[in-house]
C-alpha cells in the first residue's frame, strides 16, 4: 500500500481522486487551488477536488504559493510515498517533486509528446485531431516533458466538443492510475522517453481566443467552435450585438463574397461566408444575455438579411 498525495483542482481531476480513494492505496492529503468566485453570481466556491476530499475527511491544502515553507513542512509530515497530479493548474516546483520517495506522476490529457501544456484537449479539437488520449507520465522540472508510464487512446468525433472529450478522458485517466501505481510500488514500471522532435504545445486559452476569425476556412472554424466549448466559447459581433456561436456545420456550398458575410438567413438556416470560398452553417447561437437558441429560433426573433456581416470587433 502506498501513501499518496493528490494534487488537482477541476472536475477533470475528480474521477482520478475517486479511483484512488477506492484503491488499495491510502490518500494522505490533497493540494488544490484556492476557492474562487464562479458562475453568474460570482460567489466564492470551493474547487470540485476539495469538495470530494472534504467528503472523505482528507486534509486539504490550498496554497497561494507552492514554495511556502509551512506547506512543504506540512506535506513532508504526511510522509507520501508518491504523488499524483491531475489538472492541478500550476507548475510544480522542484522542492515538491523531490518530496515523495517514488516521485510524482501526472494524468495528462493528450498523447504525449503532442500537446504539452495547459489546454491539450481544447487544442487537439481546435486542430481537427481525430484522436487523443491520456498519458500517465513522471513529472519533471520541464513542462510535461517527463518519461511516459502508460497511454490510452480515444477517437475524437467530427462534431464532438472539448467538453465531450474531457468527460471521457477524465474517466480513462482514472482507470490507468492503479496499475501504474502498482508498477511503481513493485519496481516494475517501464518509463518511455518522449520524442522531442514530435513535441507540440497547447498554450492556456484566454477569453479573447473566442473571437471568430472569418478568414479561416469553414472546417477550421467548425473545429475552433468545438474546441472552445465550454470555455471561452466562440463569438462574433452582428452590429452591436455579441453573438456566441455554440454549434456549427461546414457546408459544401461555395461563395465569392467577403468573409463573415451572411449568405443565407431563412427557415432554420444561417449560413456565413468563411475563408477560401467555404461556407459555415450556424446551428445554435446565444445572443448576449439570452438563452441558447437554434438558427430558426434566432431568426424568428431577429431581423437578419443576407449581405449583413459578422464582425471581429463591435462597431465604434
CA distances from 295 to 11, 177, 248, 292 (A): 31, 43, 10, 10
Strand-pair category, 241-251 with 279-287: antiparallel
In this structure, the answer to whether residues 103 and 54 fall within a common structural domain is: yes
In this structure, the answer to whether residues 55 and 195 fall within a common structural domain is: yes
Q: Report the C-alpha gap between 242 and 196 in whole angstroms.
A: 42
CB 171 within 8 A of CB 237: no
pLDDT 10s digits, 85-141: 999 999 999 999 999 999 999 999 999 999 999 999 999 999 999 999 999 999 999
Q: Could you say which of 202, 218, 239 is where a domain stops?
A: 202
Q: Could you say which of 202, 234, 269 is where a domain stops?
A: 202
| Plot region of 244 (φ>0 → left; ψ -120 to 50 → alpha; else → beta) | beta
Alpha helices in the chain (DSSP H): 14-22, 48-55, 69-77, 94-97, 120-126, 162-186, 218-227, 295-301
Instruction: Give the model's pLDDT for residue 286.
Output: 98
In this structure, the answer to whether residues 40 and 53 fall within a common structural domain is: yes
Domain total for the chain?
2
- Cell readout for 179 is 496499475
What's the CATH number where 24 sits? Answer: 3.40.50.170
pLDDT band at 20 (very low <50, low <70, confident <90, very high): very high
In this structure, the answer to whether residues 195 and 297 fall within a common structural domain is: no
pLDDT 10s digits, 242-286: 999 999 999 988 999 999 999 999 999 999 999 999 999 999 999
Q: Report the C-alpha gap between 274 and 228 in whole angstroms.
A: 18
Strand-pair category, 104-108 with 26-31: unpaired
Is residue 149 situated within a structural domain? yes
Average pLDDT score, the chain: 96
Segments forming the whole domain that contains residue 153 = 3-202
Q: Report the C-alpha gap between 286 and 289 in whole angstroms.
A: 8
Helix (H, G, I), strand (E, B) or coil at 240: coil
Instruction: Give the model's pLDDT for residue 23.
Output: 97
Closest to 33 (Cα-Cα) out of 99, 72, 106, 86: 86
Q: Report the C-alpha gap between 89 and 92 in whole angstroms.
A: 9
14-22 vs 162-186: helix axis angle to the nearest 10? 30
How far is the first Cα of the chain from the last one, in angstroms, to the nearest whole number? 64
In this structure, the answer to whether residues 143 and 11 fall within a common structural domain is: yes
pLDDT 10s digits, 130-178: 999 999 999 999 999 999 999 999 999 999 999 999 999 999 999 999 9
Instruction: Give the model's pLDDT for residue 18.
Output: 98
Is residue 316 situated within a structural domain? no
What's the CATH number where 294 sits? Answer: 3.10.25.10
Is residue 53 situated within a structural domain? yes
Q: Report the C-alpha gap between 226 and 233 in whole angstroms.
A: 8
Q: Report the C-alpha gap between 282 and 128 in whole angstroms.
A: 18
Instruction: Give the model's pLDDT for residue 58.
Output: 98
In this structure, the answer to whether residues 194 and 265 fall within a common structural domain is: no
CB 246 within 8 A of CB 233: yes
Q: Could you say which of 171, 202, 233 is where a domain stops?
A: 202
In this structure, the answer to whether residues 107 and 139 fall within a common structural domain is: yes
Instruction: Give the model's pLDDT for residue 170.
Output: 98
Amino acid at each position: 500500500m502506498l501513501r499518496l498525495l493528490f494534487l488537482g483542482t477541476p472536475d477533470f481531476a475528480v474521477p482520478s481522486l475517486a479511483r484512488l480513494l477506492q484503491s488499495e492505496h491510502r490518500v494522505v492529503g490533497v493540494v488544490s487551488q484556492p476557492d474562487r468566485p464562479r458562475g453568474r453570481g460570482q460567489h466564492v466556491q470551493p474547487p470540485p477536488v476539495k469538495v470530494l476530499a472534504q467528503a472523505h475527511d482528507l486534509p486539504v491544502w490550498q496554497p497561494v504559493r507552492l514554495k511556502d515553507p509551512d506547506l512543504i513542512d506540512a506535506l513532508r509530515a504526511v510522509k507520501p510515498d508518491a504523488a499524483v497530479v491531475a489538472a492541478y493548474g500550476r507548475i510544480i516546483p522542484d522542492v515538491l517533486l523531490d518530496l515523495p520517495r517514488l516521485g510524482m506522476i501526472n494524468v495528462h490529457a493528450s498523447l504525449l509528446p503532442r500537446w504539452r501544456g495547459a489546454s491539450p484537449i481544447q487544442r487537439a479539437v481546435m486542430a481537427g485531431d481525430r484522436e487523443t488520449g491520456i498519458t500517465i507520465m513522471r513529472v519533471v522540472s520541464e513542462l510535461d516533458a517527463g518519461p511516459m508510464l502508460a497511454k490510452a487512446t480515444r477517437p475524437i468525433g467530427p462534431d464532438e466538443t472539448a467538453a465531450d472529450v474531457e468527460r471521457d478522458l477524465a474517466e480513462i485517466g482514472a482507470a490507468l492510475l492503479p496499475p501504474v501505481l502498482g508498477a511503481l510500488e513493485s519496481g516494475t514500471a517501464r518509463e518511455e522517453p518522449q520524442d522531442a522532435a514530435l513535441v507540440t504545445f497547447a498554450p492556456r486559452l484566454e477569453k479573447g481566443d473566442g473571437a471568430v476569425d472569418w478568414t479561416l476556412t469553414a472546417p477550421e472554424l467548425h473545429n475552433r467552435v468545438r474546441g472552445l466549448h465550454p470555455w471561452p466559447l466562440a463569438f462574433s459581433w452582428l452590429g452591436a450585438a455579441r453573438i456566441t456561436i455554440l454549434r456549427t456545420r461546414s457546408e459544401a456550398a461555395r461563395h465569392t463574397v467577403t468573409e463573415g458575410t451572411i449568405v443565407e438567413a431563412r427557415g432554420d438556416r444561417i449560413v456565413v461566408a468563411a475563408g477560401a470560398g467555404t461556407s459555415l452553417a450556424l446551428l445554435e447561437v446565444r445572443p448576449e444575455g439570452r438563452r441558447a437558441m437554434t438558427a430558426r429560433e434566432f431568426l424568428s426573433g431577429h431581423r437578419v438579411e443576407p449581405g449583413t456581416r459578422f464582425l471581429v470587433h463591435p462597431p465604434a
